[in-house]
Structure 1
Amino acid sequence: MTVTTANLQTFKERGQPITALTATEYAIAKLIDRAGVDLILVGDSLAMVALGHKNTLPVTLDQMIHHAQAVGRAVENALLVVDLPFMSYQESDEQALRSAGRVIKETQAQALKLEGGYPDMVDRVSRIVQVGIPVMGHIGLTPQAVHRLGFRKQGIDEAAAAEIFKQAEALVEVGVFALLLEHMPVELAGKITQAVPIPTIGIGAGDACDGQILVTHDLLGLSAWQPPFAPKYIDLSTIITTILQKYCQDVQDHNFPTN
C-alpha cells in the first residue's frame, strides 16, 4: 500500500502508531521502505549526516532536491516528505512557493516540511497549502534556528510551552496534515497531541505522540554526534570499520583476491 496523508489521519483516529525515519540516498531508502516504515523524510539533517556540516544551515535547495531524487527512486510504499532548507522559504511567500513547487515538480515528494510556527511562517505555510501541496509543520526545537535556540529542549517553562501550543493551533488552522514535535517536554507534546485533530510525530517528545521519527544515521550508530534523545539501536560504525580493516588486512596479506 502506498501511504498517503489521508492514511496517516486514519492511523491517528484508530490509534495506530505512525513510524517514520529519514533517508538521504537510494540504498538505505530502499531498505527503509522495504521494512514497512510509514513515512520517509528527506530531512535537512542530511547536511550533518551526509555532507559533514556542523548544523543544518548550509544545505541548499538544489542539494535537497538531488538527495530527494535519489530517495524517490527507492520508495514505493512510504509517504515521501522533503524538508525545505534554510533560506529557501524565509524571505517571502513568493520564494516559499517557488521552492515548494521545485521540490514537488523535480522529485517524487508527496509533501513538504517547514520549520516554525510564528505568524509569518504560518502565512507562508497557508500559501503553500492553498496551491495543493501538503505541508507538515515542525515546532519545538527547530534546527534551522540553531543560532537562536541551540539544540536545547524547548517549551520548558509555562510561557514557552504556551507559545508552542499556540503555534500548533495556528498551523492546524491553515491546514497542515501533521505536526513534527521536536525535543519538548512529554507533557506538552501529549497536550498538543490530544488537542489537535491531525497526527503528531515526535522526536525527543515522549510516547504520547501519534508517531515517532528518528534520523536513521542516529538509529544505526553512524552519526558523528548522537542527540541525547536518539537511541542507538546498533553500532554500525564500529562493525563497518572492523570489516573495512579486515579487507585492508586481507589485501596486505595477499589473502584477497584468492585467484
Structure 2
Amino acid sequence: MLQHSNDAPSMVAVRPYSGPVQVGPDSVPDAIPDQMPDQMPDQMPATSVQARCRAVNLAPHRNNVGSTPATDTRGGAFNIWGNSFPAEELPAPGQFVVDQVAYDFPPTGRGTADNVRAAGQFIEVPSGRYDWLYVLGAAERRVEDELAFHFADGSVDFEQLRLSDFWAAPGWFGETQVRATRSMHYPFHVQAGVPAMLWSQRVPVTRRAALAAVRLPRNPAVHLFAATLVLSGGEGR
C-alpha cells in the first residue's frame, strides 16, 4: 500500500520554513566540504549498545543510485527527476553511529547502486530476538507503509515504516536528522542551498520470538542506505 501525503512540500520549488534544517555555512560542521566526520557530537559510540547491534546485509538488494559526485551528477536516480545526494557530504563507507546505533554505511558516489528502493525484497537477517529495526534512509516525499517481520516459528507481524522527505523538508515522524546537505544534485548541475535530507528511523519488533527475515513494502518511494537490528535486553551475544 503506497501512501503519499498530498500536502508534502513541492518537488519543484522549496519555500522557506522554520524547522531543524539549516542551509548555509553553519548547516554542517566546518569539516565540510573536505570531509564529513563519521560521528557527530551526539552520535558517539556506546560500546554496550553497539554490542547489541546486528547490521542487516543490504548489499545483495541495492538497486538504486542515490548519490553522485559533484563532477558527474548524471547517474543519480534517487527520484523520478534524477536528483541525488552529494556523495561528498554523506558518511564514509563502513561503521557509522547514530543515536548509539551502529550502521554499516555503503560506498557512495561511484555510479553503482548504494541504496535499496523498496520493491518487496525479502531480506534474511541474523537470527535473534530483537527490540528494534533501525533504518538509515529517506523517502520521495514523506511515506508511511507496512513492512513484514518473518519469524523462525513461521509467524509474521506487520509494522509501520515511516520515513520523511529527501527533499529539503523538516522531519515529519520524529526521526533523527542525520544529514542536511549544502546542495542537491541534479542531472546536469549542482543546486546550492537546497538540502537533501538523510534520516535515522526505527520500527519496533514486538513479538518475543527469533526473527528470521524482513520483507520491505512494495513502495518505490522508500529508500534505505543501511539497516541495523538491536537485540533484546540481555541477549548481547
Q: TM-score, normalised by structure 2?
A: 0.28
**Higher strand fraction (1 or 2):** 2
RCO higher in 1 or 2 (8 Å CA, sep ≥ 6)?
2
Larger radius of gyration: 1
